[in-house]
Chains A and B, each alone.
Chain A
């Protein structure tokens, strides 16, 4: 039953090759979807280009269904997957900071790496700023230690929040995705008169 211990199965070199292959595919898909271009990414927030929403939400939805179908069929032990623990208040503040940074800079950390791979100068500056931010945060997080650990909820998932079965949450997420695709498409047509 997955997840498998790749190092035990394939050895260190073999597991690194698997990581390399997955990373290559991930980068390839991101670049081919246009995620290496900050203008296309930022256009999402002005409703002029919905590819980020469509690609990312579709990927999330498909991954969700694959994971929970695999769990349902006994192919995967979901409890063994890493789920970041919830720290509510710093999570909200961090989300706002990241969102603002995404709009202003045109990248999230992952897509900035894609843009660097295609030698985009703005991506390089974004990544440099990202690294500097990580270093400064690491050196100063001790000053906000209390806030940094506030709102701890452990491994908290949507089924627990809504008190329903995982499958019901899956239906809700898919409906939300489809509603957002249609809704944002409608806004796009309203503002720009066409859908890209």
Chain B
């Protein structure tokens, strides 16, 4: 009885119990971590601070100063039909593979997540924030909106018209004649020839704070 009440034994037991409890509880996954981060970041979604106009993305695609990363989180079928030049197809379940890369980005890096509309991209944005808190944005209206602005009539079957952006369901609403991926003219329109749009810039470059610490 005496040895059990020994402070050393009690301390050791407490440490071990705490460690076993931790092993049983586990660490939060990306969705769990987002739940914790939501109070801080959810307002950026609700205020639409992270949704950028297609014209702003086009401008960044032509800005050599910015280290632009475009994540296309759609399925392979839609990717093969059309995607932006320099975009990378990273499905939602493969986003964790980008952790080290995102953490190593400089203050000039901007991540833009695209999907057909905003549904999948918003889900991906939450996971990317939970993953590494990069300077990440979402293409407003998705690629359907992009193609409404920069799409080329001859590349689409039937009569090309601006696709409705209301009631988004995650589908690509522009019927292309051929699946040419990034070889469509709309994959990287010439900024000077493309329709000019007024937009309020949302992208702000991060100010990186050097981390410090350690012992000895």
- The answer to whether B15 and A167 touch across the interface, beta carbons within 8 angstroms, is no
The interface stretch among A39-47, A76-84, A116-124 is: A76-84
Q: Which residues of the other chain, B, contact A78 by a CB distance below 8 angstroms?
A: 27
Q: Which residue of B lies closest to A112 (CB)?
A: B216
A174 vs B100: C-alpha distance in the bound complex, in angstroms? 28
User: With A68-B22, A84-B214, A170-B23 in contact, do A1 and B15 touch (Cβ < 8 Å)?
Assistant: no
- The answer to whether B19 and A171 touch across the interface, beta carbons within 8 angstroms, is yes
Is A25 interfacial (CB-CB < 8 Å)? no
A167 touches which one: B25, B100, B213, B214 (CB < 8 A)?
B25
A68 vs B18: C-alpha distance in the bound complex, in angstroms? 10
- The answer to whether A62 and B15 touch across the interface, beta carbons within 8 angstroms, is yes
Q: Which residues of the other chain, A, contact B24 by a CB distance below 8 angstroms?
A: 167
User: With A74-B36, A175-B16 in contact, do A68 and B27 touch (Cβ < 8 Å)?
Assistant: yes
Is A155 interfacial (CB-CB < 8 Å)? yes
Q: Which residues of the other chain, B, contact A170 by a CB distance below 8 angstroms?
A: 19, 22-23
- The answer to whether B19 and A74 touch across the interface, beta carbons within 8 angstroms, is no
- The answer to whether B40 and A1 touch across the interface, beta carbons within 8 angstroms, is yes
B132-150 with Cβ < 8 A to chain A: 132-133
- The answer to whether B37 and A1 touch across the interface, beta carbons within 8 angstroms, is yes
Is A173 interfacial (CB-CB < 8 Å)? yes
- The answer to whether B18 and A72 touch across the interface, beta carbons within 8 angstroms, is no
Is A69 interfacial (CB-CB < 8 Å)? yes
Q: How does the 8 Å CB contact mask read for A71-104 relative to B, with 1 for contact and 0 for none?
A: 1101001111110100000000000001000000
Majority secondary structure, B binding face:
helix
Q: Which residues of the other chain, B, contact A171 by a CB distance below 8 angstroms?
A: 16, 19-20, 22-23
- The answer to whether B213 and A174 touch across the interface, beta carbons within 8 angstroms, is no
A84 vs B103: C-alpha distance in the bound complex, in angstroms? 14
- The answer to whether A79 and B132 touch across the interface, beta carbons within 8 angstroms, is yes
Is A65 interfacial (CB-CB < 8 Å)? yes
- The answer to whether A82 and B212 touch across the interface, beta carbons within 8 angstroms, is yes
Q: Which residues of the other chain, A, contact B28 by a CB distance below 8 angstroms?
A: 71-72, 74
Is B35 interfacial (CB-CB < 8 Å)? yes
Is A61 interfacial (CB-CB < 8 Å)? yes
Q: Which residues of the other chain, A, contact B100 by a CB distance below 8 angstroms?
A: 154-155
- The answer to whether B209 and A167 touch across the interface, beta carbons within 8 angstroms, is no
Is A139 interfacial (CB-CB < 8 Å)? no
- The answer to whether B36 and A1 touch across the interface, beta carbons within 8 angstroms, is yes
Q: Which residues of the other chain, A, contact B211 by a CB distance below 8 angstroms?
A: 80-82
A166 vs B25: C-alpha distance in the bound complex, in angstroms? 10
Q: How does the 8 Å CB contact mask read for A143-160 relative to B, with 1 for contact and 0 for none?
A: 000000000001100000
Q: How does the 8 Å CB contact mask read for B144-167 relative to A, with 1 for contact and 0 for none?
A: 000000000000000000000000
Q: How does the 8 Å CB contact mask read for B173-207 relative to A, with 1 for contact and 0 for none?
A: 00000000000000000000000000000000000
A81 vs B213: C-alpha distance in the bound complex, in angstroms? 9
B19 touches which one: A98, A154, A174, A181 (CB < 8 A)?
A174
- The answer to whether A174 and B37 touch across the interface, beta carbons within 8 angstroms, is no
- The answer to whether B103 and A167 touch across the interface, beta carbons within 8 angstroms, is no
Q: Which residues of the other chain, A, contact B19 by a CB distance below 8 angstroms?
A: 65, 167, 170-171, 173-174
Please give the distance in Å from A20's CB to the nearest CB on chain B. 16
Please give the distance in Å from A1's CB to the nearest CB on chain B. 6
Is B66 interfacial (CB-CB < 8 Å)? no
A: residues with CB less than 8 A from B are 1, 5, 58, 61-62, 65, 68-69, 71-72, 74, 77-82, 84, 98, 108-110, 154-155, 165-168, 170-171, 173-175, 177-178, 181
**Nearest 9 Cβ contacts at the A-B interface:** A167-B23, A74-B36, A82-B211, A167-B22, A174-B19, A170-B19, A171-B19, A82-B213, A65-B18
